[in-house]
Amino acid sequence: MTVAETMRRKLEAALAPTRLEIEDQSHLHKGHAGHRPGGESHFRVIVVATGFAGKSRVERQRAVTAALKEEMGHPIHALSIKAMTPEEAATDPR
């Protein structure tokens, strides 16, 4: 199972997202700290979940990283997180 597949499985189980995008951006960090041959070290995620309602940006990011706690540090070196409610996502330009 790839790192992205593991991330998807864990985030879906923990957060029941209505939308989940996982992008391996490792190729953008070639030669930088934490980069490994074969990638799967630097990721960007967009998570849309109703459970984020009433939570701060930091609380939302903590929920994402808590779901991925076993992968954080290794194999995941860097994780960019955009966490929104469905209402926020409806007005998001991306």
What's the mean pLDDT when you consider all of the chain?
91
User: Whole-angstrom Cα distance, residue 22 to residue 64?
Assistant: 12
pLDDT band at 40 (very low <50, low <70, confident <90, very high): confident
Percent of residues, the chain, with pLDDT higher than 90: 76
Instruction: Please give the domain boundaries of the chain with CATH numbers for all domains.
Output: 3-90 (3.30.300.90)
Q: Is 4 left (phi over 0), alpha (psi -120 to 50) or beta?
A: alpha
Other beta carbons within 10 Å of 41: 22
Give CA separation, 27 vs 36, 40, 63, 65, in Å.
10, 9, 26, 22
pLDDT tops 60 at residue 89: yes
Q: What is the pTM of this model?
A: 0.89
pLDDT of 36 strictly over 70: no
